[in-house]
Structure 1
Amino acid sequence: MTHLEPHQPAPAPAESDGRLTNPANKTRLMPADLHEATSRLRAGMVARLTTVGVLTDTLLRDALLYLRREVLLPHAYVRVSSPGADPIEWRLLDGAHPEDRQEWLDLIHSDESILLQRDGEPLDALTRGPVTGGHMTSMSTYTPATVEALQAMELRPGQRYLELGSGPGVSLALAATITGPSLATGVERDGHMTAFAQRNLDRLGVEATVVEGDAREGHELRAPYDRIHSGIGVPCVPPPWVEQLAPRGRLLTTLATRTPSWPGQLLVTRTATGTVEAVLQGRARGYRPQLGYRWLSVLDHRTRIEADPGRARPTRLAPPSDADHGFWLAAAYLTPGLVRDFQAETMTIVAPEDDSWAVAGPGDGTVRSNGPRDVWAELEDLHARWEEAGRPERYRVDLQDGTGIQHVTSNTGLKALAWTLPPLAAVPRQSP
């Protein structure tokens, strides 16, 4: 385990001109009681995660208590404008500024995602306060998801660890604290974020390395790896990831479809003899796709749906439970182009590119549909197939059939649900 020296902050300086100081030095400028305050906040965060049953691994628990998040997350954006607003209005919190400090501390120890970078911007001279425009290109995933992913990896001391799309390095630092010095590597495509994360990891004394590069290529120089974790969603598994996985290794990634509504989590294991096994299951949430991936959105249709939800008809399908992740995952592939409006009062599914939607209920055995595509009829048919297939919650993925095509199937029976994963898409090059 990495051993970190206790933090000894210097007194706070005089007020600045509103620009954030160099992230490598910023935490030194905070008041002397910050270390005690953050220790209490970390303890509260760990207690909360333990109480709700998310955190169960004792090694990860110790790492969470130990790792000073405020060094890795010295600032945070807060969205001010409502969904759909363009340009987006933000407010940047500077952890070194007295007026921002408490809100920033509460945020970085909460269960929220921490937004850190817009449009690949440099990170050493950001301006605190109101900011207009831009879209987030880097964030720290909300803590419960990070905990679940790292626990699924079954991290132990001495393992070689690779983090793909490491961002500010929170999960990389947690993994490195468990695996030990010089065994954890992160790959980050953005040069500014790479330098930012490495500086902060070095300040903490975490002996982990962040390299700039394309996460889809892994990092062959230090392969093979006992554990590989992808912090980006991908449509299929890049072959280098599997090639760089050691015997008895585990690889965890999100398989992202074009809808953010129904992601899948893929766990790949390599046996001691080299055989690769992959299991895909639905999840409530997953990691965001790589840059260049185009999401489906319901925002352009929300007002129209409220004004005219469509013609009512009887339905044999009650709205499927949100907990039926196996069904919704299959829907993402076998009824493509659909997205859920989770803000609607009753279940609302939209096919934005077909200008069609379906509104279920509420609870009266009817569904209302509008547009040329009968969205609900497709879900009715798929749900019947899903039940005939045994209501699968997990799917097998063949990553090594020799063709490069990655096949998914629920089982080997005649009524199995099956599909192929889409290929990797080209990703725009990062601007210098």
Structure 2
Amino acid sequence: MNTATRLRAALADRLAEDGTPMEPEWGSAVRAVPRELFTGSYFRPVAGSAPTSYRPVREGEPGWLEGVYSDETLITQLDGRIRADDVSEEAVHGSPSSSSTLPSLVLRMWHRLGAEPGHRVLEIGTGTGYSTALGAHRLGDGSLTSIEYDPVVGAAAAAALKAANFAPRLVIGDGLRGDPDGGRYDRLIATCSVRYIPLPWLHQVEPGGRILVTLSGWGYANALALLDVTGPGEATGRFLPGCTSFMIARPHDRPPRPTLALLPGEERPSRIDPAKLDDWTGGWIAQLAAPSAERLGAGAEQILWDVSTGSQARTARDHDGGWTVVQHGPVRLWDRVEQAVHRWQAAGEPRQEEFGITVSPTGQQVWLRTEDGPGWDLPI
């Protein structure tokens, strides 16, 4: 048994021991798919660096293969163009733009999707192709179509899939528009996040089919949703427990903006602790309330910046142990956040699994506990 085969078997055993849902067929996929073909060289964040810098780990160097078979997300591209093999420095700054998701999350996603042999599956975001390969091993090449937005990333994934002897249908294009050939599917799984559910998905997934996708936004909060398609352009679903996050789909990412300049505004006491936005669900609630706002800062010093109107809100601790907020612009961002957080607190600060989502041709709404409970419209 060579080193890679041994490490694959050890990873499968470790994932099972750690409680990752893994039917025998998926365990077989983990043992069979050579992840090193899909990651190649990768980046690791440098501990303690601020802003975060990344060290390239090059293919073949000591520890490279062991890192490939760790249950970690491996960053394979920065800033939409920089790959580890392109870097000559010891470390480099950048924003992660492509990665190989940690295997335990990949398997949990496939498990939650409930895809079985015979299902036609559309994957949005081929990425490195590792998740695609696992799906093709389990479901068969002919059952799986995968769409990748970045042509460079897509070409690398296609080469890796071919080298691993898989041949699912691969498409380069905007996955938010669905299958450009108008295919019909039983399941859709997204390995990127979106601000709202793209309507083409709701017409290409058959009624009775499922969509598994992470909802995110410019506040960098995330929530994993499983939706049942109830008709053309219609679906309803629930959010799932746990802390799942993916890079946002590039067409849904925030538009370019100038360097932040804090502007004067109206000051008053804050009616909530700004640190509530550091809570996984609290930050998501704030994002629902102010969906066009980018969130910066942490703790008592939060900044919201609405990229569409230029509105701002910034908080700080006051001398009496409370907090103040300064708001500028036509949208009172903190007013909206306070109202949403108060509704969430009045309900007992429930986690995301107590929320649901309803999608129709006229709108998309996230709601708490029941469809007639507190709700927030998504920014379609």
Does TM, normalized by the shorter one, top 0.5? yes
Distance change >3 Å, CA 369–CA 142, structure 1 → 2: farther
Alpha carbons 1:157, 1:179 under 8 Å: kept:
yes
Q: Is 1:350 the equivalent of 2:302?
A: yes
Match of 1:14 in 2: none
CA–CA separation in structure 1 for the residues paired with 2:277 and 2:149: 38
The change in CA–CA distance for 1:44 and 1:129 in structure 2 (over 3 A counts) is: farther
Q: Is the 8 A contact 2:42 2:58 kept in 1?
A: yes
Which stretch shifts more, 59-68 or 231-240? 59-68
Q: Secondary structure at the match of 2:2?
A: helix
What does residue range 13-28 of structure 1 map to in structure 2 within 5 Å? none
State which of 89, 106, 119 in structure 2 corresponds to 1:146: 106
Q: CA-to-partner distance for each residue in 1:318-347, whole Å, 9 max, x for gaps?
A: 97698873x5432321255474756xxxx4
User: Paired residue for 2:286?
Assistant: 331
Are 2:52 and 1:94 equivalent residues in the alignment?
A: no
Partner of 1:419: 376
TM-score (norm 2): 0.78
Worse-superposed segment, 283-292 or 266-275: 266-275
Mean Cα deviation higher: 72-81 or 148-157: 72-81
- 1:23-422 paired onto structure 2 within 5 Å: 36-80=2-46, 82-84=49-51, 90-95=54-59, 97=60, 100=61, 102-121=62-81, 126-127=85-86, 129-130=88-89, 132=92, 135-221=95-181, 223-260=183-220, 262-270=221-229, 276-280=235-239, 284-291=243-250, 293-294=253-254, 325=281, 327-334=282-289, 337=293, 339=295, 347-348=299-300, 350-353=302-305, 354=312, 356-358=314-316, 367-369=322-324, 371-372=326-327, 381-389=339-347, 393=352, 394-400=354-360, 402-403=361-362, 405-410=363-368, 411-413=370-372, 416-422=373-379
Shift in alpha-carbon separation, 1:371–1:61, aligned structure 2, 3 A = same
Q: CA contact under 8 A between 2:202 and 2:234: conserved in structure 1? A: no
In structure 2, what residue type is equivalent to 1:36? N
Closer, same or farther in 2 for the Cα pair 1:195/1:317, shift >3 Å? closer
Percent identical across equivalent pairs? 24
Distance across 2 between alignment mates of 1:184 and 1:55: 21
Quote the Cα distance in structure 2 between the aligned partners of 1:272 and 1:412: 18
Asked if the contact 2:214–2:224 (Cα under 8 Å) also holds between the matched residues in 1, the reply is yes
Q: Secondary structure in 1 aligned to 2:16?
A: helix
1:412 Cα deviation from its structure 2 partner? 4.3
Task: Give CA-to-partner distance per residue, 1:172-223, whole Å, 9 cap, x none.
Answer: 1111111113211111112122111111101111121221111111114362
Whole-Å Cα distance in 2 between the matches of residues 90 and 338 of structure 1? 24
After superposition, the Cα gap between the structure-2 partners of 1:151 and 1:113, relative to the gap in structure 1 and judged at 3 Å, is: same
Q: Provide the C-alpha distance between the structure 2 equivalents of 1:295 and 1:83, rounded to a whole number of angstroms.
A: 24
What do the CA deviations read for 1:141-196 (whole angstroms, capped 9, x no partner)? Answer: 22232222111111212221111111111111111111113211111112122111
Match of 1:16 in 2: none
| SS of alignment partner, residue 193 of structure 1 | helix
The answer on whether the counterparts of 2:304 and 2:333 sit within 8 Å (CA) in structure 1 is no
What is the one-letter code of the residue matched to 1:108?
A: V
What is the alpha-carbon root mean square deviation over aligned residues? Answer: 4.0
Distance 2:272 2:194 in 1: 35
1:112 deviates by 2.5
Post-superposition shift, 1:113? Answer: 1.8
TM-score, length-normalised on structure 1? 0.70
- 8 A contact 1:369–1:376 mirrored in 2: no
Secondary structure at the counterpart of residue 115 of structure 2: coil
| CA deviations over 1:408-428 (Å, ceiling 9, x no partner) | 332244xx21121112xxxxx
Letter in 1 for 2:314: S
Equivalenced residues, count: 359
Q: Secondary structure at the match of 1:47?
A: helix
> 3-state SS of the aligned residue for 1:192?
helix
Shift in CA distance, 224/375, structure 1 to aligned 2, threshold 3 Å: closer
Partners of 1:321 and 1:406 lie apart in 2 by: 23
More strand by share: 2
Report if the CA contact (8 A) 1:358-1:375 is conserved.
Answer: no
Query: After superposition, what is the alpha-carbon deviation per residue over 1:81-139, rounded to whole angstroms, capped at 9, x for unaligned?
Result: 92326xxx5443332x3xx1x3221222223221222444497x944642656543321
**Structure 2: unaligned runs, 5 residues or longer:** 306-311
Contact 1:92 1:127 in 2 (8 A): no
For 2:139 and 2:78, the matched residues in 1 are separated by 32
Cα offset, 1:79, TM superposition = 3.9
